[in-house]
């Protein structure tokens, strides 16, 4: 309970006043048509200074599916609401850092699209959902959700990731993301890293991980946090000071709101049940120079359309 009291006191002292931002268009204005089978790629493009690149056109991109150039079915560059899970480590070792992490997460909510569907996953050796409802955009409800699990116990990171990806499937937004804040490696999960990676692959979520730990922490595992994030088109961050968290999450909110969306329809023969690798190339219109592109590594194709059942009809 001590962790809950300290975090609550800091939140109240900060006087957050998380005002609602201006309303976005109605849902029909940002929903992507789902009447055809297609691959939806949220794409981040950055320059050599790691700044997002605006004002690119469809002609600036080339998309390859298992090495084959694809025709882009649709393309746009606007803020699309997303279903987002805020996954917060509540293990014992997070006690000195958790209040700062919660403050930063709530700042992320304030900077996000007001039409986002947000939820909270708290975890130590157990995983729990902070909200009684599926989603909320109310900062006060989300603040209370973070404070429901005391800082104690071990770290079931993989279990939390699997639970969060399953909950993402309940959302109605075409774009999905997870923000995972943890101070170390997994030491309590029933699931393995491979199962967490497979769950992320199925969910098609963009994952941003934030590692909060000391350099001499025996449980730290930056490689795992990178492995969870980068194949999804996300990023892994390792701040030296918890006070750097608001800036990191403000960056994440900005990136999510400024991404390009590319939609293409795979060929019929892509219904093979295999994992398909995606590569997206972006170039500067004026110079033709390559830009850095971050998007997910691929997707799991559906089973063949006319699979044989064997034997006589």
Q: What is the pLDDT of residues 49-65, one digit of tens each?
A: 989 999 999 999 999 99
Assess if residue 100 is contained within a domain: yes
User: Final residue of a domain: which of 257, 280, 308?
Assistant: 257
Could you tell me if 54 and 153 lie in one domain? no
What does each C-alpha distance from 150 to 94, 129, 146, 185, 249 come to in angstroms? Answer: 10, 13, 9, 19, 23
Specify the pLDDT at position 306: 59
Assess if residue 284 is contained within a domain: yes
Cβ 63 vs Cβ 280: under 8 Å: yes
Mean pLDDT along residues 20-30: 36
Q: Supply the CATH number for residue 165's domain.
A: 3.40.50.410
Could you tell me if 51 and 122 lie in one domain? no
User: Final residue of a domain: which of 224, 257, 290?
Assistant: 257
Could you tell me if 70 and 101 lie in one domain? no
Per-residue pLDDT for 3 more than 70?
A: no
**Chain segment 86-135, per-residue pLDDT in tens:** 999 999 988 889 999 999 999 999 999 999 999 999 999 999 999 999 99
Assess if residue 157 is contained within a domain: yes
Assess if residue 196 is contained within a domain: yes
Assess if residue 149 is contained within a domain: yes
Assess if residue 1 is contained within a domain: no
pLDDT category, 267, cuts 50, 70, 90? confident
Assess if residue 18 is contained within a domain: no
Q: Which residue range is the domain that position 102 belongs to?
A: 81-257
Cβ 276 vs Cβ 299: under 8 Å: yes
Assess if residue 251 is contained within a domain: yes
Cβ 145 vs Cβ 120: under 8 Å: yes
Per-residue pLDDT for 30 more than 70?
A: no
How many separate domains does the chain show? Answer: 2
Could you tell me if 184 and 268 lie in one domain? no
**Chain segment 199-223, per-residue pLDDT in tens:** 999 999 999 999 998 777 777 889 9
Could you tell me if 182 and 266 lie in one domain? no
């Amino acid at each position: 309970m001590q962790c809950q009291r300290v975090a609550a006191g800091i939140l109240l002292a900060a006087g957050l006043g998380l005002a609602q931002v201006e309303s976005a268009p109605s849902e029909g204005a940002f929903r992507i048509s789902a009447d055809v089978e297609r691959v939806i790629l949220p794409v981040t493009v950055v320059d050599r200074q790691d700044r997002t690149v605006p004002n690119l056109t469809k002609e600036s991109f080339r998309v390859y599916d298992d090495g084959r150039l694809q025709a882009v079915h649709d393309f746009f560059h606007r803020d699309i609401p997303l279903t987002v899970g805020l996954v917060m480590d509540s293990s014992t070792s997070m006690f000195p850092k958790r209040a700062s992490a919660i403050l930063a997460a709530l700042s992320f909510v304030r900077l996000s699209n007001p039409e986002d569907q947000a939820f909270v996953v708290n975890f130590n050796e157990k995983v729990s959902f902070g909200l009684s409802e599926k989603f909320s955009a109310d900062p006060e409800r989300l603040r209370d959700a973070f404070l429901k699990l005391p800082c104690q116990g071990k770290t079931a990171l993989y279990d939390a990731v699997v639970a969060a990806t399953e909950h993402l499937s309940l959302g109605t937004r075409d774009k999905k993301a997870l923000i995972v804040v943890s101070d170390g490696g997994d030491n309590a999960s029933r699931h393995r890293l491979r199962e967490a990676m497979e769950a992320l692959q199925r969910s098609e979520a963009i994952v941003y991980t934030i590692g909060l730990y000391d350099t001499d922490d025996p449980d730290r595992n930056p490689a795992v946090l990178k492995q969870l994030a980068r194949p999804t088109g996300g990023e892994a961050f390792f701040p030296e000071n918890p006070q750097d968290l608001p800036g990191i999450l403000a960056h994440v909110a900005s990136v999510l709101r400024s991404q390009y969306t590319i939609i293409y329809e795979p060929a019929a023969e892509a219904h093979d049940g295999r994992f398909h690798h995606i590569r997206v190339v972006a170039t500067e219109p004026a110079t033709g120079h390559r830009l850095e592109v971050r998007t997910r590594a691929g997707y799991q194709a559906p089973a063949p359309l006319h699979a044989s059942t064997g034997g006589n009809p």
